[in-house]
Amino acid sequence: MAAQNEIQEEFPDLPELVHVPKPITKNTNDDNKVAPNNDKENEPETEHSKEKDNEDAKESRKVTVVDCEETEDNDIKNNEEQAGEKSGSTNVTSETNENTTSIQFDEIGPRDEDADRVYDLSKPISQRVEIAVQRYKKNRKFNAVRNQVFESYMRFGGIETGPKAFQGQGDEEDGEADAEEIRERRAVNFVEEDRVEGMEVDFTYTVTVYLSSYLIDKSGYVYMDQFVEAPIVVISFINYLVNQRVCPEYNDDMQRALTIAKQAKIELPLCKRLAQLTPGRFNKACSLLFGGELFGLLDDPWEGEEKAAKMLGISMSEAKSIFREVTGQEHAAVNLNNKMTRISEEMDVIDIDSHPISTPFDPNVSNSTQDNSTQNNSENDHDTTNPTSTIPIENGANFENVAPNSLYRIYVRKHDHPESVLIPILIGPELAKNVIRGMFITADFYQLNNGVWYWDRVTNVYPTYFLQGDPDSDDDE
């Protein structure tokens, strides 16, 4: 007992050691004889025995902890190996198979040998997709942003994240469970049972809404890498579904969804960049001088005009100089035409000048690739409602060898009102090269009495394939 007391003192966190004597066994020849005790408990303690007791206690503690952590994993592994043998397949259900080679995220990868059986068309599509999600995630390399976007896309599409209600059931309770069933029980991404019945499958609608109105308005994503990665994630997953023939009955629908996602790969970063850079130097100057978000902020700033101007990115003297250079007029000779002010107006981008304007410029003369009669014609060269017909600006405008302070005119008009007049807005090349005909923009628009228009407080820039989802079904993140 002395050794136990010393161990307890050295390892105070150990549970109290309780001495349990060896069981007394009966001799078959003599009930009164006691079996010999070989534990050497009665030998006198030595320094060597104390050290050995300490080492034994440490090792016992370590083994106990390791055993506690590994017992469940070993049971699961054994269960799944047995299930794999029953189902005639191996290495199917393990979520962390060390022998499995990871593939690059954008690689489609080989088709699984057992894909025809696992994704048999007699199974409900919800069950097939559940299995596909687990397999897709198992061997693919995800960074933090891609993982975040993928889970968001799954939830938006009706695939929940988290353990199933029956996940805690031990597989040993069902000796007939095969590898596939074990995986389904442990699925982290799954379709809620009450949503399966009457569930409508529409890959194109889901992808279009997710990569436009949902991602921009509801996801809460604000960083460029999230807008860059989102379409890449969608393309990767749908390609996997097509290659594995998870739901071939929806192949045409998935191909249309891929077309939208590939377009989003180009447009979403442009939308994000344009939204970040707006309104542009000239429009900022007009906002400060005539009316808008910056108007009056430099009148009497409590921190001083110089510090306030640095925070705004423009001073009053700079604003006056920019306006004079572009229009050839002093700002004092120009007033705001309040009757034409449009707050939070939704506009479609219709066209852009192929070359920068000459300054000072006449707002009534167009440099556009289309003449005025064509611009005001509701039958434009391209259909902004058809995503496949949109033309990136880089195919029609020249941004090479232009001065940083050059200005291009883009032409916008009221969303879904082809009969409305075109409004020309002046923006620099850094903004203009992110514009695509057919983009959908929400902003405030102002007109001066000299005919010049400017925009301010550009709140949203949407891609050409924009689609508003059902507000009752799109959950916020």
Q: Is residue 155 part of a domain?
A: yes
Strands 440-447 and 189-191: unpaired
Q: Is residue 320 part of a domain?
A: no
User: What's the pLDDT at 287?
Assistant: 97
Do 106 and 179 lie in one domain? The reply is yes
Residues 39 and 17: their CA atoms lie apart, in Å, by 17
H-helix or E-strand spanning residue 413: strand 408-414
Residues 455 and 411: their CA atoms lie apart, in Å, by 12
DSSP 8-state class, residue 162:
S
Residues 266 and 87: their CA atoms lie apart, in Å, by 45
Q: Is residue 423 part of a domain?
A: yes
Residues 397 and 404: their CA atoms lie apart, in Å, by 15
Do 251 and 154 lie in one domain? The reply is yes
Do 66 and 100 lie in one domain? The reply is no
pTM for this one?
Answer: 0.69
H-helix or E-strand spanning residue 444: strand 440-447
Residue ending a domain, among 234, 261, 276, is 276
Average pLDDT of each block of 10 consecutive residues along the chain (477 residues)? Answer: 53 47 43 46 49 52 43 46 40 36 79 94 92 89 93 91 46 50 53 54 96 95 96 97 97 98 97 96 97 92 82 94 96 95 96 89 63 40 39 58 90 95 95 94 97 96 93 54
In this structure, are residues 402 and 411 in contact, taking their beta carbons and an 8 Å threshold?
no
DSSP 8-state class, residue 425:
E
Do 71 and 129 lie in one domain? The reply is no
Residues 393 and 452: their CA atoms lie apart, in Å, by 23
User: What's the pLDDT at 286?
Assistant: 97
Residue ending a domain, among 259, 276, 293, is 276
Do 352 and 452 lie in one domain? The reply is yes
Residues 221 and 266: their CA atoms lie apart, in Å, by 18
Do 219 and 356 lie in one domain? The reply is no
Residues 423 and 323: their CA atoms lie apart, in Å, by 19
Residues 106 and 237: their CA atoms lie apart, in Å, by 9
Q: Is residue 284 part of a domain?
A: no
Do 419 and 385 lie in one domain? The reply is yes
Q: Is residue 305 part of a domain?
A: no
The DSSP code sequence of 338-372 is: GGG-EEEEEEEEEEEBSSPPPSS--TTS--BSS-H
Token duo for residue 237: 């997953």
Do 251 and 354 lie in one domain? The reply is no
Residue ending a domain, among 52, 80, 108, is 80
User: What's the pLDDT at 221?
Assistant: 94
Token duo for residue 14: 């150990």
Q: Which of 314, 323, 397 is nearest to 354 (CA)?
A: 397
In this structure, are residues 92 and 84 in contact, taking their beta carbons and an 8 Å threshold?
yes
The boundaries of the domain holding residue 29 are 2-35+43-80
Check residue 346 and give left, alpha or beta (phi > 0: left; psi -120 to 50: alpha).
beta
Burial of 133 (0-12, 13-18, 19+ CB in 10 A): buried
Do 225 and 153 lie in one domain? The reply is yes
Instruction: Say how many domains are in the chain.
Output: 3
Residue carrying the six token digits 């030595």: 46
User: What's the pLDDT at 473?
Assistant: 55
Q: Which of 460, 456, 403, 396 is nearest to 426 (CA)?
A: 456
Q: Is residue 299 part of a domain?
A: no
In this structure, are residues 132 and 159 in contact, taking their beta carbons and an 8 Å threshold?
no
Do 15 and 61 lie in one domain? The reply is yes
Strands 453-462 and 342-352: unpaired
H-helix or E-strand spanning residue 410: strand 408-414
Centre a 10 Å sphere on the Cβ of residue 472 and count the other Cβ atoms it contains: 6
Q: Is residue 449 part of a domain?
A: yes
Q: Is residue 214 part of a domain?
A: yes
Do 71 and 96 lie in one domain? The reply is no
Do 194 and 255 lie in one domain? The reply is yes
Residues 175 and 404: their CA atoms lie apart, in Å, by 72
